[in-house]
Amino acid sequence: MFFTCGPNEAMVVSGFCRSPPVMVAGGRVFVLPCIQKIQRISLNTLTLNVKSEKVYTRHGVPISVTGIAQVKIQGQNKEMLAAACQMFLGKTEAEIAHIALETLEGHQRAIMAHMTVEEIYKDRQKFSEQVFKVASSDLVNMGISVVSYTLKDIHDDQDYLHSLGKARTAQVQKDARIGEAEAKRDAGIREAKAKQEKVSAQYLSEIEMAKAQRDYELKKAAYDIEVNTRRAQADLAYQLQVAKTKQQIEEQRVQVQVVERAQQVALQEQEIARREKELEARVRKPAEAERYRLERLAEAERSQLIMQAEAEAEAVRMRGEAEAFAIGARARAEAEQMAKKAEAFQLYQEAAQLDMLLEKLPQVAEEISTPLTSAKKITLVSSGSGTMGAAKVTGEVLDILSRLPESVERLTGVSIAQVNSKPLRTS
């Protein structure tokens, strides 16, 4: 099966044959099967009068709507043409128009049920667009395209639309009355405003005159102040010039005094210089000569003292070396003596120890009595018994000496009394 389309109709050719014939048409060669059937479908534009009688709107008001729709089978689109052939092949143009009309009328009624009378009446463009959109999406599946849709008429049997018109007429009349009242009011306002502007203009004129008078007075006062200021400035300038002249005269007089004073200072400086030269000749030069002489004497004395100090230092050094040598010799002798004593200690033991103690006792007694020899005054306090006077001092010294063996025993552990009573032991 294949299609061939003209400007106003589409022809569908279908069939089957083992050896298909050849057909020449319009200068073209077609290989045709064995023709069993040829069917045609109209591609003309169909005008549909879509009427929806007494359809209840969203608020339950029944109205009737008439719309004009232009539809046609789309022959340029093969898919839509195939769908139209499947739906309408073998049907007349009237039958196709009736199917499309029923579809449009159903969509129109559905959209009316979802809108109010006011919406349909006031916004016909919106209603037409919704019907066109919904119907187009449904009819395109049948291969039919909606070219246009227009709401032609809307009416009802309940005078609902008439009442809407009356309300609108009353609203217009009311608006007219309000407009007339507002116009009168505006006229009165404009008249009052004009009178007010007239009075305001008069007042403004008087105010401007007063301002002009005030400006005149102010400018005159300002000019008077400026004239008086200039006159006062001229007087002050004269006085200032007089003062400047006096100041210049005084400055010149002071400069003369300064010059005179400078000359006096110069004379005094010359006198001072002369006296300084005289002082230098009489006093400073002899003083400097005397100072030079004293400096030379001091330098000679210092050199002499340095030489004496160096000689004394050399003598001290030599004396120190001699003393060091003597001390060394004495130390060597003492060391030799101590070594011999140590040998004697090893040999005699207790007897040697007793000998050393007895040797040192006089030194101890001397150290004990030394403070008494250096005392200038001794005060004795007596308890009323015993001897008095110098014998008391001697007794005290002897008492200290008598306790000396006990002290030696406590310090060294050697008893002098026991050593004297025992025979001497030797190693």
Where do the structural domains in the chain lie, given as residue ranges?
Answer: 2-171
Q: How many residues does the chain have?
A: 427
Q: Which position has the higher pLDDT, 8 or 175?
A: 175
Is the pLDDT at 226 greater than 70? The verdict is yes
The encoded tokens of residue 62 equal 């029944």
Q: Which CATH superfamily is domain 2-171 in?
A: Band 7 domain (3.30.479.30)
Q: Rounded to whole angstroms, how far apart are CA atoms 87 and 96?
A: 9
Q: Tens digit of pLDDT for each residue in 33-86?
A: 555 566 677 778 888 888 888 888 888 888 888 888 888 887 777 888 887 787
Residue 16's pLDDT is 47
- In the predicted model, what is the mean pLDDT of residues 252-277? 87
Is the pLDDT at 351 greater than 80? The verdict is no
Helix (H), strand (E) at residue 288: helix 285-348
Is the pLDDT at 172 greater than 60? The verdict is no
- In the predicted model, what is the mean pLDDT of residues 123-142? 83
Give the closest residue to 146 by CA, choosing from 156, 134, 155: 134
The encoded tokens of residue 80 equal 């839509």
Residue 24's pLDDT is 44
Q: Rounded to whole angstroms, how far apart are CA atoms 121 and 148?
A: 20
Q: Which position has the higher pLDDT, 5 or 59?
A: 59
With residues binned 3-state (H G I as helix, E B as strand, rest as coil), the percentages for the chain, rounded to 5, are: 70, 15, 15
- In the predicted model, what is the mean pLDDT of residues 130-147? 82
The encoded tokens of residue 205 equal 């004129």
